């Protein structure tokens, strides 16, 4: 019973894959035909001595031989598989692996040789032309550019002044000296500030003085949060940083040294102020929107908490 | 000091076979007390882990949490004192009493170095030897 079901499954899968197989085989045959025709053309040309192939780069010769060998082993391998013969512990497999390994290993050499190979092919082409034409100027050119020398060519350098486009329509194009990254989604300062202001208003609507007002107007019940007075924003942030740091230290079983700035901050926060640190926390947020005298547009005064830990040392100023 | 309760807990216990030791994080709860001394901690750990030789226990890098009452640090228990002497850094061995600190006179070292600056090459060794005997 089991065998019958297995056979049925096999038949079904074969029927499904048979048309695919047929298509694949046709494709292969077509490709092989083109390859054979091309190879025959090439061999005919070589026999007619159109391409002098003696004295080439020996590295490339070796690479060709390796690739040929690999192809042959592949063909033999697929032949054995197609005939249903086992490939276990057959030397073909080992040779395949070996050749593959060699090919992978010489890949970096390939990259390094690229410049030389390119130069050679270019120059040989040019030299062949010169031979055919037999120019009288060839003597002069030989002295100025020895084709087989691989030294840097200062005449090929493009000067900076050349790079400026000679545009008579007075469109200034800056000279491209250093490579820069063009950010597509870069917002201007105004846009960024506007975004920040929006985020601020949204945040204020969720917590703080504005929230109470809005709740009152809309008739929502009053919300009371416990223990906000004791722990200022500064302190909470400090605690979070320390916890994260402690976690990492425990993971790595080492201690990170405490910098001077951190020590100063710690000292500042440990000064006992009887829990009054949080009193002036949201003060600035509340008075920011009020129209004070002597205010100019975007720049409002920075009413920071009396003496924060990094008051003097903070670089970024809130000016939005 | 009145014997206020000191609780010791260990976390992230790991047996390090490569360095033949057990390493863990020590959490000490000592409410109402300043920091607990390392000697006391070693005794408690010895009783906790049934270690025969408290010389193989090393505790270090203790830090007290904000507000006091809790400190966290690292602890190691070696398989034997020889292993400890092999793997531990010198300063910790000195703290545990397994090694002595050689008091090197800073001034003498500097003088020696400056004398060596005047001589080049192999002659340095000979000159240093002679000077050591003199000074």
Structure confidence at residue A299 (pLDDT): 52
- Quick one: average pLDDT of B104-128? 83
- Per mean pLDDT, which range of A40-49, A189-198, B28-37 is the poorest? A40-49
Structure confidence at residue A200 (pLDDT): 83
Beta-carbon pairs below 8 A across chains A and B: 14
How confident is residue B16, by pLDDT bands cut at 50, 70 and 90?
A: very high
Whether the per-residue pLDDT at A113 is higher than 70: the answer is: yes
Whether the per-residue pLDDT at B67 is higher than 50: the answer is: yes
Pairing of strands B21-29, B7-16: antiparallel
Among the partner-chain residues A239, A250, A270, the one whose CB lies closest to the CB of B25 is A250
- CA of A311 to nearest chain B CA: how many angstroms apart? 22
For residue B10, what is the nearest residue in chain A, using CA coordinates? A250
Greatest mean pLDDT among A4-8, A102-106, A228-232, B38-42 lies in B38-42
Would the CB atoms of A250 and B66 count as touching at under 8 Å? no
DSSP string, A265-302: HHHHHHS--TT-TTTTTTHHHHHHSS--TT-BTTB---
pLDDT averaged over chain A? 77
Whether the per-residue pLDDT at A146 is higher than 70: the answer is: no
Whether the per-residue pLDDT at A235 is higher than 90: the answer is: no
How confident is residue A52, by pLDDT bands cut at 50, 70 and 90?
A: low
Structure confidence at residue B114 (pLDDT): 93
Among the partner-chain residues B23, B66, B72, the one whose CB lies closest to the CB of A253 is B23
Structure tokens at B125: 């060794």
Structure confidence at residue A228 (pLDDT): 54
Interface check A253 vs B, CB under 8 A: yes
For residue B62, what is the nearest residue in chain A, using CA coordinates? A255
Structure confidence at residue A185 (pLDDT): 75
Per-residue pLDDT reduced to its tens digit, A244-292 = 999 999 999 999 999 998 998 888 888 867 667 777 776 776 676 667 6
Q: What radius of gyration, in Å, describes the C-alpha atoms of chain B?
A: 22
How confident is residue B59, by pLDDT bands cut at 50, 70 and 90?
A: very high
Structure confidence at residue A157 (pLDDT): 77
Contacts of A270 in chain B (CB under 8 A): 66
- Per cent of chain A over pLDDT 70 is 72
- Quick one: average pLDDT of A49-66? 75
- CA of B26 to nearest chain A CA: how many angstroms apart? 10
- Quick one: average pLDDT of A58-68? 87
How confident is residue A79, by pLDDT bands cut at 50, 70 and 90?
A: confident
Residues of B with CB under 8 A from a CB of A: 11-12, 23, 25, 61, 63, 66, 72, 74
Which residue has better confidence, B97 or A296?
Answer: B97
Whether the per-residue pLDDT at B1 is higher than 50: the answer is: no
- Quick one: average pLDDT of A55-81? 86
| Residue A278 to residue A294: CA distance in whole angstroms | 28
Structure confidence at residue A143 (pLDDT): 45
- Quick one: average pLDDT of B72-81? 95
Length of chain A in residues, anyone? Answer: 320
Which residue has better confidence, A310 or A268?
Answer: A268
Interface check A239 vs B, CB under 8 A: yes
- Quick one: average pLDDT of A155-166? 64
Which residue has better confidence, A310 or A47?
Answer: A47
| Residue B90 to residue B84: CA distance in whole angstroms | 10
- Quick one: average pLDDT of A38-63? 78
How confident is residue B50, by pLDDT bands cut at 50, 70 and 90?
A: very high
- CA of A278 to nearest chain B CA: how many angstroms apart? 17
How confident is residue B111, by pLDDT bands cut at 50, 70 and 90?
A: very high
Whether the per-residue pLDDT at A293 is higher than 90: the answer is: no
For residue A243, what is the nearest residue in chain B, using CA coordinates? B65
> Bridge partners of B59?
B75
| Residue B82 to residue B61: CA distance in whole angstroms | 23
Would the CB atoms of A253 and B74 count as touching at under 8 Å? yes
Which residue has better confidence, B129 or A112?
Answer: A112
| Residue B80 to residue B54: CA distance in whole angstroms | 10
The angle that helices A189-206 and A209-218 make with each other, rounded to 10 degrees, is 60
- CA of A259 to nearest chain B CA: how many angstroms apart? 15
- Quick one: average pLDDT of A11-34? 86
- Quick one: average pLDDT of A174-182? 82
- CA of B124 to nearest chain A CA: how many angstroms apart? 39
Structure confidence at residue B23 (pLDDT): 95
- Per mean pLDDT, which range of A54-68, A159-173, B13-27, B90-104 is the poorest? A159-173
Among the partner-chain residues A250, A255, A270, the one whose CB lies closest to the CB of B12 is A250
- CA of A211 to nearest chain B CA: how many angstroms apart? 33
Would the CB atoms of A242 and B25 count as touching at under 8 Å? no
Structure confidence at residue B107 (pLDDT): 94
Which residue has better confidence, A157 or B11?
Answer: B11
- Per cent of chain B over pLDDT 90 is 70
Considering only CA atoms, which of B100, B134, B98, B129 is closest in space to residue B116?
Answer: B129
Structure confidence at residue A130 (pLDDT): 74
Structure confidence at residue A313 (pLDDT): 57
- Quick one: average pLDDT of A229-245? 83
Contacts of A239 in chain B (CB under 8 A): 66
For residue B27, what is the nearest residue in chain A, using CA coordinates? A250
Interface check A150 vs B, CB under 8 A: no
The answer for residues whose C-beta is within 8 angstroms of residue B99's C-beta and 6 or more apart is: B85, B90, B93
Structure confidence at residue B101 (pLDDT): 85
């Amino acid at each position: 019973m089991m065998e019958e079901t297995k056979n049925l499954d096999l038949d079904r899968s074969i029927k499904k894959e048979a048309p695919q197989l047929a298509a694949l085989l046709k494709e292969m045959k077509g490709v092989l035909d083109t390859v054979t025709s091309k190879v025959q053309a090439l061999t005919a040309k070589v026999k007619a001595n159109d391409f002098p192939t003696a004295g080439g780069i020996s590295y490339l010769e070796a690479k060709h031989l390796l690739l040929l060998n690999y192809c042959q082993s592949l063909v033999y391998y697929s032949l054995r598989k197609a005939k249903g013969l086992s490939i276990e512990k057959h030397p073909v497999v080992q040779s395949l692996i070996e050749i593959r390994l060699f090919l992978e290993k010489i890949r970096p050499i390939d990259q390094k040789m690229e410049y030389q190979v390119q130069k050679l092919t270019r120059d040989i082409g040019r030299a062949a032309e010169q031979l055919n034409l037999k120019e009288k100027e060839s003597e002069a050119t030989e002295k100025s550019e020895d084709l087989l020398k691989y030294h840097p060519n200062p005449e090929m350098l493009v000067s900076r002044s050349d790079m400026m486009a000679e545009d008579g329509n007075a469109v200034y194009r800056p000279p491209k000296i250093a490579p820069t990254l063009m950010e597509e989604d870069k917002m201007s300062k105004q846009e960024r500030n506007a975004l920040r202001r929006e985020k601020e208003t949204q945040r204020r609507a969720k917590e703080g003085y504005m929230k109470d007002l809005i709740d009152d107007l809309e008739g929502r019940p009053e919300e009371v949060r416990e223990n906000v007075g004791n722990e200022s924003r500064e302190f909470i942030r400090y605690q979070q940083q320390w916890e994260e740091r402690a976690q990492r230290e425990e993971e790595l079983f080492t201690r990170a040294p405490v910098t001077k700035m951190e020590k100063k901050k710690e000292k500042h926060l440990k000064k006992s102020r009887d829990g009054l640190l949080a009193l002036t926390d949201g003060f600035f947020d509340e008075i920011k929107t009020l129209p004070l005298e002597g205010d100019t547009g975007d720049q409002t005064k920075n009413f920071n908490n009396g003496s924060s830990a990094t008051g003097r040392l903070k670089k970024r100023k809130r000016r939005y | 000091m009145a014997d206020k309760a000191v609780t010791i807990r260990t976390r992230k216990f790991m047996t390090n076979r490569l360095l033949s030791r057990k390493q863990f994080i020590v959490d000490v709860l000592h409410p109402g007390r300043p920091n607990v001394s390392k000697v006391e901690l070693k005794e408690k750990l010895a009783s906790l882990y049934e270690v025969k030789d408290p010389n193989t226990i090393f505790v270090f890098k203790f830090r007290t949490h904000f507000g006091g009452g809790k400190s966290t640090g690292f602890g190691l228990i070696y398989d034997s004192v020889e292993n400890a002497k092999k793997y531990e850094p010198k300063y910790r061995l000195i703290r545990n009493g397994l090694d002595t600190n050689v008091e090197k006179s800073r001034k003498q070292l500097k003088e020696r170095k400056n004398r060596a600056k005047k001589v080049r090459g192999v002659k340095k060794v000979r000159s240093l030897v002679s000077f050591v005997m003199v000074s």
